[in-house]
C-alpha cells in the first residue's frame, strides 16, 4: 500500500499497528529457540508465554487454550479435521459435519476434502436473505441424528457481507446434544466483542493480519478437555496439537496487535461505523440503484462496523474493481482468497441473489487507518466508474435488466 492509496480492503488485511511492528522488530534481532533449555531459549520461551497470556486476557480464555498456528487457514483446518478425526475415533457413527453455506473457503474447502477423502457427510445449512444462518434448519438437522454429528462450524461474522451470525444460539443447540462448536472469528476480533468463555464455543480461529499484526501467524483457541487430532507431527510443541518451531517475533507482534485491537474495539466501532454509514449513504446518492447487501441493521449484534457490501446493477464487479484501482482506490469483489476467479460469490448466491447480481458487487471495508478523505475519494470516483463499467458490460453482453434484491 502506497501513501496515496485509498485503502478500503481492511477485511482482506489491515496495516500493522506501529506498536506491533515495534514488538516484532525487537525480537527479530534476538536469537533463541523457545524449545531450547539454555538462557537464550528460555528468554524466547518467556516472550511466547507472555504473549499467550496477553492474547488469553484479550479473548476471555485461558493461556493454555491458545494454540499458535501460521494463520486462519491452518487454524480452521486444524479445528475441522482435528475435531472430526478425534470425534469419529471415539464413535464411528460421528461422520456428520454441520456448517453454514456462507463460510469462508478456509472452512468450506477442508470440509469438501473431508467429504471426498474421509467419508464425512457435510451439510451446508441455509441462510436468509441477509446472510444469517437459519437456526431452525440447524435445530432440525441436529435433532434428526444427534449421535452422528461430529461437530458444528459457524463463522462469527461473514467476511463478504459483514453479517454477524447467531453463534450463541448455535452453541446452545449443539451443546444440548453434546456436539462441539467451532467458530471462525477471523473477521470479528477487534471489530465486535469476542469472549471465548462467554460465547460457549469449543474452538475459535483468529489471525494476526486482520487485527493489525503480521502475516503468517494466528491461533486456534481450543478447550483443554477437547480432543483434537494433530495434523503436524514433530517436536510436540503447542500441546502436541501443532508441532513446529515457534515464531517468537511474529507471536510478539500478534499479541500486541490483539491486545490493542480488543482494547480499542468499542471506540473503533463507533468511529468506523459512522464512516461506513456515510460511505453507503453517499454512494447511493451517486448511484441510486446501488443495493446494500447484508443486514441493514448497523448494531454490532447484526453487522460488522466497517463492512459496506454493495451491488451495482449492470456492472461486472471485476471491472469496477480495476477501474477504481486505476484511480488509486483499493477494494474487493468479496473474499480475497478467490480474487481473480471468474465465478459469482457463493455467499450472495446462498442469500438468494442470482449469478448476475452476485457478479455485480463490491466490498468496501474500513479499518483503523480509514479517514473521511478515503470516503470523499470513493464518492468522487464512483459515478464515472460505474458509468464506464456499465458501458463495458453492455458491450460485453452483461445485462442490465435484473435489479438487485
Catalogue the active-site residues.
Answer: 337
DSSP lists the bridge partners of residue 311 as: 291, 361
Nearest partner of 292 among 232, 224, 361, judged by Cα: 361
Q: Is there a contact between 243 and 234 (Cβ–Cβ < 8 Å)?
A: yes
Grid cell locating 82: 482435528
Q: Using alpha carbons, list the distances in angstroms from residue 270 to 17, 30, 190, 277, 367.
A: 19, 39, 12, 11, 12
Q: How far apart are CA 195 and CA 80, in angstroms?
A: 21
DSSP lists the bridge partners of residue 204 as: 183, 221
Q: How far apart are CA 165 and CA 301, in angstroms?
A: 8
Q: Is there a contact between 352 and 405 (Cβ–Cβ < 8 Å)?
A: yes
Q: Is there a contact between 104 and 11 (Cβ–Cβ < 8 Å)?
A: no
- Determine the distance from the C-alpha atom of residue 170 to the mean position of all C-alpha atoms in its chain, rounded to a whole number: 18
Q: Is there a contact between 143 and 306 (Cβ–Cβ < 8 Å)?
A: no
* Alpha helix positions (H), 176-242: 196-199
Cell 441436529 found at: 142
Query: Phi/psi class of residue 261: alpha, beta or left (left: φ > 0; alpha: ψ in -120 to 50)?
Result: alpha
Give CA angle at 287 (312, 366), nearest 5°: 75
Q: Which residues contact 291 (CB under 8 A, 6 or more apart)?
A: 310, 311, 313, 403, 404, 405
Q: Is there a contact between 267 and 258 (Cβ–Cβ < 8 Å)?
A: no
Nearest partner of 69 among 185, 200, 241, judged by Cα: 241
Number of CB atoms found within 10 A of residue 263's CB? 12
Q: Is there a contact between 24 and 17 (Cβ–Cβ < 8 Å)?
A: no
Amino acid at each position: 500500500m502506497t501513501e496515496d492509496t485509498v485503502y478500503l480492503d481492511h477485511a482482506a488485511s489491515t496495516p500493522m499497528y506501529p506498536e506491533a511492528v515495534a514488538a516484532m522488530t525487537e525480537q527479530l534481532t534476538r536469537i533463541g529457540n523457545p524449545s531450547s533449555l539454555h538462557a537464550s531459549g528460555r528468554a524466547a520461551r518467556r516472550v511466547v508465554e507472555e504473549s499467550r497470556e496477553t492474547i488469553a486476557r484479550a479473548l476471555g480464555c485461558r493461556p493454555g487454550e491458545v494454540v499458535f498456528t501460521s494463520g486462519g487457514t491452518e487454524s480452521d483446518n486444524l479445528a475441522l479435521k482435528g475435531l472430526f478425526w478425534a470425534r469419529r475415533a471415539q464413535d464411528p457413527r460421528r461422520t456428520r459435519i454441520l456448517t453454514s453455506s456462507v463460510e469462508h473457503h478456509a472452512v468450506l474447502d477442508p470440509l469438501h476434502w473431508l467429504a471426498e477423502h474421509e467419508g464425512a457427510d457435510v451439510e451446508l445449512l441455509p441462510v436468509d436473505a441477509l446472510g444469517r444462518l437459519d437456526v431452525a434448519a440447524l435445530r432440525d438437522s441436529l435433532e434428526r441424528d444427534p449421535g452422528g454429528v461430529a461437530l458444528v462450524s459457524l463463522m462469527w461474522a461473514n467476511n463478504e457481507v459483514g453479517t454477524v451470525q447467531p453463534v450463541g444460539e448455535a452453541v446452545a443447540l449443539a451443546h444440548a446434544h453434546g456436539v462441539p462448536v467451532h467458530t471462525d472469528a477471523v473477521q470479528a476480533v477487534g471489530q465486535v466483542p469476542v469472549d471465548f468463555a462467554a460465547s460457549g464455543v469449543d474452538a475459535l480461529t483468529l489471525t494476526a493480519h486482520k487485527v493489525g499484526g503480521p502475516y503468517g501467524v494466528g491461533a486456534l483457541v481450543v478447550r483443554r478437555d477437547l480432543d483434537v487430532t494433530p495434523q503436524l507431527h514433530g517436536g510436540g510443541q503447542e500441546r502436541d496439537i501443532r508441532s513446529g518451531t515457534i515464531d517468537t517475533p511474529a507471536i510478539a507482534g500478534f499479541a500486541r496487535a490483539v491486545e490493542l485491537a480488543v482494547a480499542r474495539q468499542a471506540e473503533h466501532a463507533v468511529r468506523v461505523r459512522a464512516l461506513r454509514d456515510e460511505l453507503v449513504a453517499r454512494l447511493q446518492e451517486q448511484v441510486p440503484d446501488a443495493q446494500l447487501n447484508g443486514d441493514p441493521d448497523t448494531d454490532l449484534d447484526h453487522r460488522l462496523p466497517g463492512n459496506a457490501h454493495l451491488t451495482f446493477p449492470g456492472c461486472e464487479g471485476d471491472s469496477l474493481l480495476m477501474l477504481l484501482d486505476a484511480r488509486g482506490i483499493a477494494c474487493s469483489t468479496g473474499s480475497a482468497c478467490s480474487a481473480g476467479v471468474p465465478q459469482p460469490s457463493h455467499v450472495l448466491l446462498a442469500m438468494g441473489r442470482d449469478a448476475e447480481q452476485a457478479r455485480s458487487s463490491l466490498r468496501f471495508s474500513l479499518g483503523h487507518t480509514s479517514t473521511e478523505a478515503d470516503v470523499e475519494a470513493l464518492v468522487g470516483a464512483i459515478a464515472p466508474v460505474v458509468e464506464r463499467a456499465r458501458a463495458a458490460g453492455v458491450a460485453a453482453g452483461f445485462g442490465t435488466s435484473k435489479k438487485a434484491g
